[in-house]
Amino acid sequence: MGKPTGFIEYLRELPLDRSPTERVRDWKEFHHHLDDRTLRNQAARCMDCGVPFCHTGKLMSGGASGCPVNNLIPEWNDLVYRGLWREALDRLHKTNNFPEFTGRVCPAPCEGSCVLGINAPPVTIKNIENTIIERGWDEGWVLPEPPKQRTGKSVAVVGSGPAGLAAAAQLNKAGHSVTVLERADRPGGLLMYGIPNMKLDKNEVVMRRIRLMEQEGIKFVCNAEVGENYEPQMMLKDFDAVVLCTGATRPRDLPIEGRDLQGVHFAMDYLTESTQSVMGKGPDTARLHAKGLDVVVIGGGDTGTDCVGTAMRQGCRTLTQFEIMSKPPDDRAEDNPWPEWPRVYRMDYGQEEAAAKFGSDPRAYLTTVRKLVGDEQGRLKEIVTVQVSWERNARGQLVPVEQPGTERSQPAQLVLLAMGFVGPEKGLLQDLRIELDERGNVNADYGKYGTNVPGVFAAGDCRRGQSLVVWAINEGRGAARECDRFLMGRTELP
């Protein structure tokens, strides 16, 4: 702990964001940065709490409590307060391969379990983390570190999202020859095409790390879809081990009347095409585009927010976001105590931008879509909704019940389905004869990561289901450790 009275002396401060009306005009990241003195004061707010729940990384009531990669948060806060930035970076990299990713897109469960947060605003952990790593890049401290010697073993990592990148980085560090197989045209998986550029810059942040990994000896092969243009059995023969990090990419559908109308799309298809156009011929060249349209986003999670932010930048005419759940309270409810993740009302960047343009939060709670209406050419023109209440059925389960007299319709030419994901795609898993669990995910125990096929491991969303980037990094590191143990009979990976 840097300063015993810091949490008393200093209030929580975050850097100002670019104004919503300004930032929707481009696709650049929108966070400003705090000056050095202010950052050190923020680090000084980290108190001598005795038991720092911020880096416990546990699941409580279905959500993360503390940092899933067990970042040594009090240690690097102390180092930042004392101006020892390079030492802080070393501490950060001990547990997190990619703090520039988590420092931007992680919802910060560490802050939700900060002990100071019991009765005061928590420490600005996420912002400090991102500042440490960006200072490391700026100062030239982040350099390629290829292994001193190779083991002669080879590993294929299927998928280059956060789990795949973490597994590849750790296995390469152990001295194995690692090849990452990615079916898209660029590496990065979810980080590349599932998160918009204004939230995570592709060239300056994602590809910067990819290039460093290549310099460390990791090979990336894009446009390689195992099971389609890359033979799965040949992969098993060519490599000594395989780590599956294919994600949970099957979107949850909405089987209602009008689902097949033109103008109804899965959120990830929309976000992917948007990013491809931003990185290619320009943002206005996207085939799926919201300019001048009445846009409806169905689903209230991070993906829904990213759809809102993207549609705002494309110049939508109106925007509405429907959530079937009730509006969260402004403060923690009695059944949501610290150190659980605080389920409270908050405005994310996309909602801020929509509110700035249209005058209010675009979200409508306790609302479900009853049907979609099209014109004579089969194009979407209208959406019909109804309000619901949550009531217990005969078995005591809470279920949504439509409320009579609440049906309403509104114009819509673009509907984006952002209701989450239901598991990994099955083709490759069937080809490899991988056993699945009752939820349809790869059956591999947490902490062991081995599948029923010897030498084949699984990590990230394809194993645990849709989750956070930081959990994917946790699992990628863990799978690398167990894969290394399989190859060498022992492991020194953390």
Tens digits of residue pLDDT in 224-233: 999 999 999 9
Element at 212 (helix H, strand E):
helix 207-215
Q: What is the DSSP letter of 160?
A: -
d(CA 265, CA 311) in angstroms, rounded, equals 13
Q: What percent of the chain has pLDDT over 70?
A: 100
Q: Is the peptide bond before 362 cis (omega within 30 degrees of 0)?
A: no
Contact 417, 251 (CB under 8 A): yes
| Averaged pLDDT for residues 202-223 | 98
| Averaged pLDDT for residues 402-411 | 97
Chain length of the chain: 494
Q: Which of 58-62, 214-218, 256-260, 348-352 has the lowest mean pLDDT?
A: 58-62
Does 2 score more than 80 pLDDT? no
In 10 A of CB 231, how many CB atoms? 13
d(CA 273, CA 247) in angstroms, rounded, equals 19
Contact 239, 391 (CB under 8 A): no
C-alpha triplet 371, 376, 379: angle, nearest 5°: 55
CATH architecture of 6-139: Orthogonal Bundle (1.10)
| Averaged pLDDT for residues 440-465 | 97
pLDDT of residue 50: 87
Does 62 score more than 90 pLDDT? no
| Averaged pLDDT for residues 418-444 | 97
The larger pLDDT score, comparing residue 129 to residue 50, is at 129
| Averaged pLDDT for residues 74-79 | 95
The DSSP bridge partners found for residue 121 are none
- Determine the 3-state secondary structure of 444 from DSSP: coil
Residues of the chain with CATH 1.10.1060.10: 6-139
pLDDT grade, residue 375 (50/70/90)?
A: very high
| Averaged pLDDT for residues 361-367 | 98
Q: What is the DSSP letter of 334?
A: T
pLDDT grade, residue 484 (50/70/90)?
A: very high
Per-residue burial over 81-97, b if 16 or more Cβ lie within 10 Å, else e, is: beeebeebbebbbebbb
Q: Are strands 380-392 and 367-374 parallel, antiparallel or unpaired?
A: antiparallel
Q: Are strands 63-65 and 58-60 parallel, antiparallel or unpaired?
A: antiparallel
Average pLDDT, the chain: 96
Contact 402, 386 (CB under 8 A): yes
Does 123 score more than 90 pLDDT? yes
Contact 461, 424 (CB under 8 A): yes
Residues of the chain with CATH 3.50.50.60: 154-249+422-488, 264-417
Does 1 score more than 80 pLDDT? no
Q: What would the two tokens of residue 426 be?
A: 């099955």
pLDDT of residue 430: 97
d(CA 266, CA 394) in angstroms, rounded, equals 34
d(CA 193, CA 195) in angstroms, rounded, equals 6
Q: What would the two tokens of residue 65 be?
A: 């409590």
d(CA 457, CA 454) in angstroms, rounded, equals 8
Q: What percent of the chain has pLDDT over 90?
A: 96
pLDDT of residue 48: 80
- Encode pLDDT of 86-96 as tens digits: 999 999 999 99
C-alpha triplet 200, 204, 205: angle, nearest 5°: 50
Look at the domain 264-417 and name its fold.
FAD/NAD(P)-binding domain (3.50.50)
pLDDT of residue 63: 87
| Averaged pLDDT for residues 403-428 | 97
Contact 121, 12 (CB under 8 A): yes
| Averaged pLDDT for residues 174-200 | 97
Three-state helix/strand/coil letters over 454-478: CCEEECCHHHHCCCCHHHHHHHHHH
pLDDT grade, residue 359 (50/70/90)?
A: very high
Q: Which CATH class is domain 154-249+422-488?
A: alpha beta
pLDDT of residue 264: 98
| Averaged pLDDT for residues 137-147 | 98
Does the pTM of the predicted model rise above 0.75? yes
d(CA 407, CA 369) in angstroms, rounded, equals 9
Q: What is the DSSP letter of 285?
A: G
| Averaged pLDDT for residues 161-183 | 98
Q: What is the distance in angstroms between the CA of the first residue and the CA of the last residue of the chain?
A: 25
Q: What would the two tokens of residue 352 be?
A: 């801020």
pLDDT of residue 402: 95
